[in-house]
Structure 1
């Protein structure tokens, strides 16, 4: 008897290769998938603007980066002696306005350079609910804990979301013709918007993703949202807040992600690296024995064979340090 509906996405027409450069932008799920990619030694820049939930702010930031525009001067805000900018996440802050302006400009320049050479851009849309700063009339990415009376909250229309994404996709294509874009809808539920409005918001984003993939052959969709709500249809796959997917769900979705997107060589490497990561986490129960020294020597040899394909310098240094410790503290055989 089967109690779940397992969903295995189709393979995407353009596979992800081990040598590809990736940029992730979007909600906290973009952080999660980005960290999984980085843990498997892929070349990925993870959410350089900080967590961005709505697609309108994502499009604005991407266009700023591509066009070399300065952050909007009217959207700097100071709170408790710390400076923020409404277009960026609160992880980007400074003690002065000038210092923050420099930091934001450096970030935009770095992202612009990455967009022009990257192979993949992963965009994870979290919600179509937006906050408009009443004084400036601008949709903001983050309210930075300022009074709610300064903002108007509403659902961005489907046409406007589609138009903003179409504009940025055209700009990306002009700047980097080889770039592939992967869209996802975050499986994290925005229950503060109420469950009915969360469903409206996610549905709107899903429709936009579908239309964009139909109109642009370099735009693809990965169904992380569908995997979470249909395949993993159980609260045991959520954190205790019953909103965020837990580590088990993340692992499962990443496995499906690899099946759908990775080429054969990358899938083989991921499987190999999973075993090496377990070995790297292993610690001897009995101290620096000969057996443990042989284990480390074998592990070091495996890492050495990978160094021409991926950067394993940190791991090699760690294993060599452990080996030196086993030699220095070698226990005599009984």
Structure 2
């Protein structure tokens, strides 16, 4: 008897390899998956703009980065001595407007450089519900805890969303023809928008994502949303807020992503790196100066040196060598 509908996503037509360069952009789910890729020792620029939920702001920021457009001067806002910008997440802040301007310009330039070199862009769409700044008439990426009376909340029109993302993808492909885009719809539930409106919002994003994969062979879709909603159809896979997937859910979804998106060499490496990561986290139960621990560290260094021919493990090597030197000196 089966108690849930398990499914395995189809293998993606373009596979991520050990030497692939990746950029993640979008909602908090993009950041979670990006960190998993970082932990797997892949080359990743992870969500440089911070958490961005709506496709309108995602498209605007990426277009700004690719065309070298400076942040709009009228979009800076100060609250309690801290400066923010309405087109960026609140994790990008400064104590002066000039300092923030420099920080944002650097962020945009870094993102542009990474995208031009990348093999994959992991793009997560979170919500079709947007907040419009009433005075300027423009959609904001983040309200930065400013008074709600300054904004109008509404569901963005699907044709306009489609146009924005289509225009973005055409620009991305022109700038970097080798770039493959992996679309996902975030499984995070936007219950503040009400459950009915959340369903409409997610449905719009899913329709657009489907259409884009039909029209562009270099655009693929990974069903993170479907895995959460159907395969993991149980509140035990959510955090206490019943909105965000928990660690167990992230483990499961990322495992499915590995099966679907990673090439055989990378999957083999991931398995080996998981074992080495456990060894790196290991600490002796009784004494870190024992002969057994010294032998363990020597073996670990050998394994890391073997891997160093394929990836950068300089930080891990330095840390383990330091532990070994401490072990040796304690026995002198």
Structure 2 gap ranges (5+): none
User: In structure 2, what is the Cα distance between the partners aligned to 1:98 and 1:281?
Assistant: 42
Contact 1:8 1:256 survives alignment (8 Å): yes
For the pair 1:162 / 2:194, whether they are aligned, the reply is no
* Map of 1:214 onto structure 2: 214
Q: TM-score, normalized by length of structure 2?
A: 0.98
For the pair 1:11 / 2:11, whether they are aligned, the reply is yes
User: In structure 2, what is the Cα distance between the partners aligned to 1:220 and 1:253?
Assistant: 16
User: In structure 1, what is the Cα distance between the partners aligned to 2:101 and 2:10?
Assistant: 44
Structure 1 gap ranges (5+): none
* Map of 1:298 onto structure 2: 299
Is the partner of 1:52 in helix, strand or coil?
A: coil
User: Which segment is superposed worse, 139-148 or 284-293?
Assistant: 284-293
User: In structure 2, what is the Cα distance between the partners aligned to 1:285 and 1:210?
Assistant: 52
Is the partner of 1:103 in helix, strand or coil?
A: helix
Report the CA distance between 1:329 and its aligned residue: 2.1
For the pair 1:67 / 2:67, whether they are aligned, the reply is yes
* Map of 2:313 onto structure 1: 312
User: In structure 1, what is the Cα distance between the partners aligned to 2:10 and 2:331?
Assistant: 53
Q: Cα RMSD (Å) of the superposition?
A: 0.9
User: In structure 1, what is the Cα distance between the partners aligned to 2:37 and 2:112?
Assistant: 21
Is the partner of 1:184 in helix, strand or coil?
A: strand
User: In structure 1, what is the Cα distance between the partners aligned to 2:184 and 2:135?
Assistant: 32
User: In structure 1, what is the Cα distance between the partners aligned to 2:4 and 2:55?
Assistant: 32
* Map of 2:201 onto structure 1: 201
For the pair 1:83 / 2:83, whether they are aligned, the reply is yes
Contact 1:227 1:253 survives alignment (8 Å): yes
Is the partner of 1:23 in helix, strand or coil?
A: strand
Report the CA distance between 1:196 and its aligned residue: 0.9
Is the partner of 1:244 in helix, strand or coil?
A: coil
User: In structure 2, what is the Cα distance between the partners aligned to 1:161 and 1:303?
Assistant: 47
Report the CA distance between 1:157 and its aligned residue: 1.3
1:210-249 aligned within 5 A? 210-249=210-249
* Map of 1:101 onto structure 2: 101
Is the partner of 2:124 in helix, strand or coil?
A: strand
Is the partner of 2:87 in helix, strand or coil?
A: coil
Is the partner of 2:189 in helix, strand or coil?
A: coil
Contact 1:86 1:144 survives alignment (8 Å): yes
Q: Deviations over 1:22-73 (max 9, x none)?
A: 0000000011000000000000001111110001100000000001111111
Q: TM-score, normalized by length of structure 1?
A: 0.98
Is the partner of 2:280 in helix, strand or coil?
A: helix
For the pair 1:280 / 2:280, whether they are aligned, the reply is yes
* Map of 1:36 onto structure 2: 36
User: In structure 2, what is the Cα distance between the partners aligned to 1:95 and 1:324?
Assistant: 43
Count of matched residue positions in the alignment of Structure 1 and Structure 2: 331
* Map of 2:141 onto structure 1: 141
User: In structure 2, what is the Cα distance between the partners aligned to 1:223 and 1:330?
Assistant: 54
Report the CA distance between 1:98 and its aligned residue: 1.1
User: In structure 2, what is the Cα distance between the partners aligned to 1:74 and 1:326?
Assistant: 59
User: In structure 1, what is the Cα distance between the partners aligned to 2:81 and 2:292?
Assistant: 57
Q: Deviations over 1:111-165 (max 9, x none)?
A: 1111111111111011000000011110010000001111110001111111000
User: In structure 2, what is the Cα distance between the partners aligned to 1:270 and 1:162?
Assistant: 36
Is the partner of 1:132 in helix, strand or coil?
A: strand
* Map of 1:117 onto structure 2: 117
